Amino acid sequence: MISRLRGRLLECDVTGVLVDIQGVGFAVAVPLSTFDHLPKVGEEVVLHTWLAVREDSLTLYGFSSVAERSLFLLLLTVTGIGPRLALNILSCLPVSSFCAAVAEGDIKTLTRISGIGKRSAERLVVELRDRVAEIAPSLAGRAAPAVSREAVDAIAALETLGFKSEAARQAVQAVCEQSKDTQASAESLIRKALALLNS
Protein backbone atom coordinates (compact mmCIF):
# COMPACT_ATOMS: atom_id res chain seq x y z
CA MET A 1 0.00 0.00 0.00
CA ILE A 2 1.28 3.47 -0.92
CA SER A 3 0.40 5.67 2.07
CA ARG A 4 2.73 8.64 1.58
CA LEU A 5 4.47 10.35 -1.33
CA ARG A 6 7.21 12.95 -1.29
CA GLY A 7 8.57 14.30 -4.53
CA ARG A 8 8.67 17.17 -7.01
CA LEU A 9 5.38 18.58 -8.22
CA LEU A 10 5.41 18.36 -12.03
CA GLU A 11 1.82 19.26 -12.92
CA CYS A 12 -1.35 20.18 -11.08
CA ASP A 13 -4.95 21.12 -11.71
CA VAL A 14 -8.19 20.94 -9.73
CA THR A 15 -8.63 17.22 -10.43
CA GLY A 16 -5.17 15.89 -9.72
CA VAL A 17 -1.42 16.23 -9.66
CA LEU A 18 1.64 14.57 -11.14
CA VAL A 19 4.47 13.96 -8.68
CA ASP A 20 7.98 12.99 -9.80
CA ILE A 21 9.78 10.58 -7.48
CA GLN A 22 13.22 9.56 -8.74
CA GLY A 23 12.13 9.77 -12.35
CA VAL A 24 8.78 8.04 -11.92
CA GLY A 25 5.65 10.16 -12.31
CA PHE A 26 2.77 9.35 -9.99
CA ALA A 27 -0.69 10.62 -11.02
CA VAL A 28 -2.70 11.43 -7.90
CA ALA A 29 -6.35 12.49 -7.63
CA VAL A 30 -6.84 15.22 -5.01
CA PRO A 31 -9.76 17.19 -3.54
CA LEU A 32 -9.89 20.99 -3.83
CA SER A 33 -8.97 21.26 -0.15
CA THR A 34 -5.61 19.66 -0.97
CA PHE A 35 -5.22 21.53 -4.26
CA ASP A 36 -5.46 24.83 -2.35
CA HIS A 37 -2.45 23.84 -0.21
CA LEU A 38 -0.17 22.67 -3.00
CA PRO A 39 3.23 24.30 -3.47
CA LYS A 40 4.33 25.80 -6.78
CA VAL A 41 5.12 23.49 -9.69
CA GLY A 42 8.74 22.39 -9.38
CA GLU A 43 8.75 22.47 -5.59
CA GLU A 44 8.63 19.52 -3.20
CA VAL A 45 5.22 18.20 -2.21
CA VAL A 46 4.19 15.69 0.45
CA LEU A 47 0.87 13.85 0.13
CA HIS A 48 -0.81 11.33 2.40
CA THR A 49 -2.22 8.77 0.01
CA TRP A 50 -4.53 5.82 -0.44
CA LEU A 51 -4.40 3.39 -3.35
CA ALA A 52 -7.71 2.10 -4.72
CA VAL A 53 -7.22 -1.28 -6.37
CA ARG A 54 -9.85 -2.46 -8.82
CA GLU A 55 -9.89 -5.28 -11.32
CA ASP A 56 -9.29 -2.91 -14.23
CA SER A 57 -7.55 0.07 -12.63
CA LEU A 58 -5.30 1.47 -9.92
CA THR A 59 -6.15 4.96 -8.65
CA LEU A 60 -4.02 6.90 -6.19
CA TYR A 61 -5.76 9.51 -4.02
CA GLY A 62 -3.74 12.16 -2.20
CA PHE A 63 -4.42 14.51 0.71
CA SER A 64 -2.62 17.37 2.39
CA SER A 65 -3.24 15.99 5.89
CA VAL A 66 -3.77 12.70 7.67
CA ALA A 67 -7.16 13.98 8.86
CA GLU A 68 -8.32 14.49 5.26
CA ARG A 69 -7.28 10.97 4.32
CA SER A 70 -8.93 9.54 7.43
CA LEU A 71 -12.21 11.28 6.62
CA PHE A 72 -12.01 10.10 3.00
CA LEU A 73 -11.63 6.48 4.13
CA LEU A 74 -14.43 6.90 6.67
CA LEU A 75 -16.73 8.25 3.96
CA LEU A 76 -16.07 5.17 1.83
CA THR A 77 -17.69 3.04 4.56
CA VAL A 78 -21.02 4.83 4.07
CA THR A 79 -23.63 3.18 1.88
CA GLY A 80 -23.72 4.86 -1.53
CA ILE A 81 -20.51 6.90 -1.11
CA GLY A 82 -17.73 6.11 -3.58
CA PRO A 83 -14.30 7.73 -4.06
CA ARG A 84 -15.57 10.42 -6.44
CA LEU A 85 -18.32 11.62 -4.10
CA ALA A 86 -16.00 11.37 -1.09
CA LEU A 87 -13.51 13.66 -2.89
CA ASN A 88 -16.34 16.05 -3.69
CA ILE A 89 -17.36 16.20 -0.03
CA LEU A 90 -13.80 17.08 0.97
CA SER A 91 -13.71 19.70 -1.79
CA CYS A 92 -16.86 21.37 -0.47
CA LEU A 93 -16.31 21.38 3.30
CA PRO A 94 -13.23 21.47 5.55
CA VAL A 95 -12.76 18.35 7.68
CA SER A 96 -13.74 20.17 10.88
CA SER A 97 -16.89 21.67 9.35
CA PHE A 98 -18.05 18.36 7.89
CA CYS A 99 -17.44 16.49 11.14
CA ALA A 100 -19.29 19.18 13.11
CA ALA A 101 -22.25 19.02 10.71
CA VAL A 102 -22.48 15.25 11.10
CA ALA A 103 -22.05 15.35 14.88
CA GLU A 104 -24.80 17.97 15.22
CA GLY A 105 -27.11 16.43 12.62
CA ASP A 106 -26.95 19.57 10.50
CA ILE A 107 -28.79 18.29 7.43
CA LYS A 108 -29.02 21.76 5.88
CA THR A 109 -25.23 22.14 5.73
CA LEU A 110 -24.70 18.63 4.40
CA THR A 111 -27.22 19.07 1.58
CA ARG A 112 -25.27 22.08 0.32
CA ILE A 113 -22.69 19.60 -0.92
CA SER A 114 -23.15 18.79 -4.60
CA GLY A 115 -24.37 15.21 -4.93
CA ILE A 116 -25.75 14.99 -1.39
CA GLY A 117 -29.53 15.07 -1.07
CA LYS A 118 -31.52 14.97 2.14
CA ARG A 119 -31.69 11.19 2.25
CA SER A 120 -27.93 10.88 1.72
CA ALA A 121 -27.31 13.55 4.37
CA GLU A 122 -29.47 11.69 6.86
CA ARG A 123 -27.61 8.48 6.08
CA LEU A 124 -24.27 10.24 6.69
CA VAL A 125 -25.52 11.33 10.11
CA VAL A 126 -26.85 7.86 10.96
CA GLU A 127 -23.69 6.03 9.92
CA LEU A 128 -20.99 8.50 10.99
CA ARG A 129 -22.25 10.51 13.96
CA ASP A 130 -20.58 8.15 16.47
CA ARG A 131 -17.34 7.96 14.47
CA VAL A 132 -16.40 11.52 13.48
CA ALA A 133 -14.87 12.08 16.93
CA GLU A 134 -12.10 9.69 15.81
CA ILE A 135 -11.05 12.36 13.31
CA ALA A 136 -12.02 15.49 15.27
CA PRO A 137 -11.69 14.62 18.99
CA SER A 138 -12.98 18.08 19.98
CA LEU A 139 -16.41 16.96 18.74
CA ALA A 140 -16.67 14.15 21.27
CA GLY A 141 -19.81 14.53 23.31
CA ARG A 142 -21.76 16.54 20.77
CA ALA A 143 -25.07 14.78 20.38
CA ALA A 144 -26.74 14.59 17.01
CA PRO A 145 -30.51 14.50 16.82
CA ALA A 146 -31.77 10.94 16.92
CA VAL A 147 -31.98 9.81 13.31
CA SER A 148 -32.33 6.04 13.18
CA ARG A 149 -32.15 3.84 10.12
CA GLU A 150 -35.88 3.28 10.56
CA ALA A 151 -36.44 7.05 10.42
CA VAL A 152 -34.40 7.33 7.22
CA ASP A 153 -36.45 4.51 5.67
CA ALA A 154 -39.70 6.13 6.82
CA ILE A 155 -38.74 9.47 5.26
CA ALA A 156 -37.84 7.74 1.99
CA ALA A 157 -41.18 5.91 1.97
CA LEU A 158 -43.10 9.16 2.52
CA GLU A 159 -41.20 10.79 -0.34
CA THR A 160 -42.18 7.84 -2.55
CA LEU A 161 -45.80 8.50 -1.60
CA GLY A 162 -45.44 12.02 -2.99
CA PHE A 163 -44.67 14.09 0.09
CA LYS A 164 -41.96 16.74 -0.16
CA SER A 165 -38.64 15.82 1.47
CA GLU A 166 -38.75 18.58 4.06
CA ALA A 167 -42.34 17.81 5.08
CA ALA A 168 -41.55 14.10 5.36
CA ARG A 169 -38.44 14.75 7.44
CA GLN A 170 -40.24 17.12 9.81
CA ALA A 171 -43.15 14.72 10.28
CA VAL A 172 -40.91 11.76 11.08
CA GLN A 173 -38.78 13.90 13.38
CA ALA A 174 -41.90 15.07 15.22
CA VAL A 175 -43.07 11.48 15.65
CA CYS A 176 -39.66 10.45 16.97
CA GLU A 177 -39.64 13.32 19.47
CA GLN A 178 -43.17 12.55 20.69
CA SER A 179 -42.75 8.78 20.89
CA LYS A 180 -41.31 7.07 23.96
CA ASP A 181 -40.50 4.00 21.87
CA THR A 182 -36.90 4.42 20.73
CA GLN A 183 -37.08 1.11 18.82
CA ALA A 184 -40.10 2.02 16.68
CA SER A 185 -40.23 0.27 13.32
CA ALA A 186 -40.23 2.12 10.01
CA GLU A 187 -43.84 0.99 9.48
CA SER A 188 -44.90 2.51 12.79
CA LEU A 189 -43.13 5.77 12.03
CA ILE A 190 -44.72 5.94 8.57
CA ARG A 191 -48.21 5.35 9.97
CA LYS A 192 -47.87 8.03 12.65
CA ALA A 193 -46.19 10.49 10.28
CA LEU A 194 -49.01 10.02 7.76
CA ALA A 195 -51.52 10.84 10.49
CA LEU A 196 -49.66 14.10 11.14
CA LEU A 197 -49.32 14.99 7.48
CA ASN A 198 -52.98 14.32 6.75
CA SER A 199 -54.34 16.05 9.84
Q: pLDDT, tens digit, for every residue of 131-163?
A: 888 787 655 444 444 456 777 788 888 888 888
Is 29 a member of any domain? Answer: yes
Q: Do both 59 and 95 map to the same domain?
A: no
Burial 114-127 (b: 16+ CB within 10 A, else e): eebebbbbbbbbbb
Q: Report yes or no on 111 lying in a domain.
A: yes
Q: In which domain, by residue range, is 174 found?
A: 149-197
Question: What is the reported pTM?
Answer: 0.69
Supply the CATH number for residue 158's domain: 1.10.8
Q: What is the reported pLDDT for 124?
A: 93
Q: What pLDDT sits at residue 143?
A: 46
Contact 143, 178 (CB under 8 A): no
Has residue 144 been placed in a domain?
no
Is the domain of 34 the same as that of 82? no
Same domain, yes or no: 52 and 115: no
- Residues 129, 95: one domain? yes
Domain boundary among 22, 45, 63: 63
Predicted confidence (pLDDT) per residue in 122-132, tens digit: 999 989 988 88
Burial track 137-151 (b if 16+ CB lie within 10 A, e otherwise)? eebeebebeebbebb
State the amino acid at position 140 in one-letter form.
Answer: A
- How many domains does the chain contain in total? 3
Please report, for the domain that includes residue 21, its CATH number.
2.40.50.140
